[in-house]
Copies of this chain bind each other. A is one copy, B any other.
Amino acid sequence: MTEQKHPRELHVGFIGVGVMGRPMVSNLLKAGFPCTIYDINPAPVEALVAEGATSASSAAEVAKSSDIFVTMVVNDAQLAATLFEPGNAASALKPGAIVIGMSTMSVRMVREAAARLQEVGVHYLDAPVSGGEAGATGGTLSIMVGGPPEVFERCKPVLSVLGSNIYHVGQNVGDGQAVKMINQLMVCVHNAVAAEALALGEKAGLDKTMLFEIISKSAGNSWIFSDRGSRMVSENFSPPKSALSILVKDLGFVVDTANNMGYPLILGSITYQLYKMASIKGWDKLDDSIMIKLMEEIAGLGNKE
């Protein structure tokens, strides 16, 4: 363990200052935390330096000064590269430092990372988030934490700046990702069935706008339907509010995890095939409500875009 510091004296390292990471660092700076950051994209780094952050030339350089080392990278591969590839942030971290993994990643990846960090005396806290760009900007993310209580306790000053609903869901690294995974499974299926149902309505000659208005007030509603349904009706897919690629990746993790556990994931697996079909069409960077277009095409309702 490092010496106990006043929470505001904790040096925060932050890797990945994209759509999510950038406003998260802004909030940490405003709250008074000294932040050292790294990202391959220079534009958001420069903007955050203007707000008071320190820029480093690599993840390993960030690691040297960090009490708490936050990663908000895209996927498993980027976390592995950040921690263990040349530059090797893991070995640059001080013994007793804590890595907080806040991206959505596979349970297997975060457990492996935690085990490898433990060998060099570094802790890992599993803390994926929900709430998107709006939650990151407002400091109102939901954070699903898996890990030992004493590690969670040391990270609370940082997490409470980033999120407003912080759930300690389990004592094991990976429990946070598991809860996030369950949530994303439901998000992905709800989005796909919204598209399947609206396109069926169109095929039956019903008005899509009317259907959206009635179903969103009925027992068939979901959080996703009330959010994505309006974009399915307006066919407003660009710029994306939430890119299709994210759900393709997240549902891939769910399928992978279920397969590794020997769990028969029936609806999740068939839904994943539909997301891959949409991805293959080149729609990765469009809004994930584009699933309506996939269903309309499958049903021969014509290419409307």
Contacts and interface: CB of A to CB of B under 8 A. Distances in A.
A12 B116 CA distance: 75
A265 B197 CA distance: 9
A233 interface: no
B220 A183 contact: yes
Q: How many copies of this kind of chain does the complex include?
A: 2
Given A107-B204, A210-B169, A182 B267 contact: no
Given A179-B201, A190-B193, A266 B258 contact: no
B264 A298 contact: yes
A215 B261 contact: no
Interface stretch (A37-45, A64-72, A221-229): A221-229
Q: Specify which of A142, A165, A223, A265 lies most central, judged by the most chain B CB atoms within 10 Å of its CB.
A: A223
A158 interface: no
A192 interface: yes
Contacts of A254: 200
A24 interface: no
A186 interface: yes
Interface string A88-131: 00000000000000000001000000000000000000000010
A267 B189 contact: yes
Contact of A266 (B185, B204, B257, B274): B274
Nearest to A216: B223
A137 B104 CA distance: 46
A165 to B, nearest CB: 7
A67 to B, nearest CB: 28
Contacts of A186: 193-194, 197, 215, 220-222, 225
Given A165-B217, A167-B214, A201 B182 contact: yes
A267 B267 contact: yes
Contact of A218 (B183, B194, B218, B271): B183
Contact of A205 (B130, B170, B204): B170
A50 interface: no
A267 B272 CA distance: 11
Contacts of A210: 167, 169, 179
Nearest to A195: B267
A206 B170 contact: yes
Nearest to A271: B267
A95 to B, nearest CB: 29
Interface in A127-173: 130, 142, 144, 165, 167, 169-170, 172
A284 interface: no
Given A186-B215, A196-B267, A221-B222, 7 more contacts: A170-B207, A178-B204, A179-B201, A199-B263, A204-B257, A222-B224, A267-B270
Interface of A: 107, 130, 142, 144, 165, 167, 169-170, 172, 175, 178-179, 181-187, 189-190, 192-194, 196-201, 203-207, 210-211, 214-215, 217-225, 227, 254, 257-258, 261, 263-268, 270-271, 274, 298-299
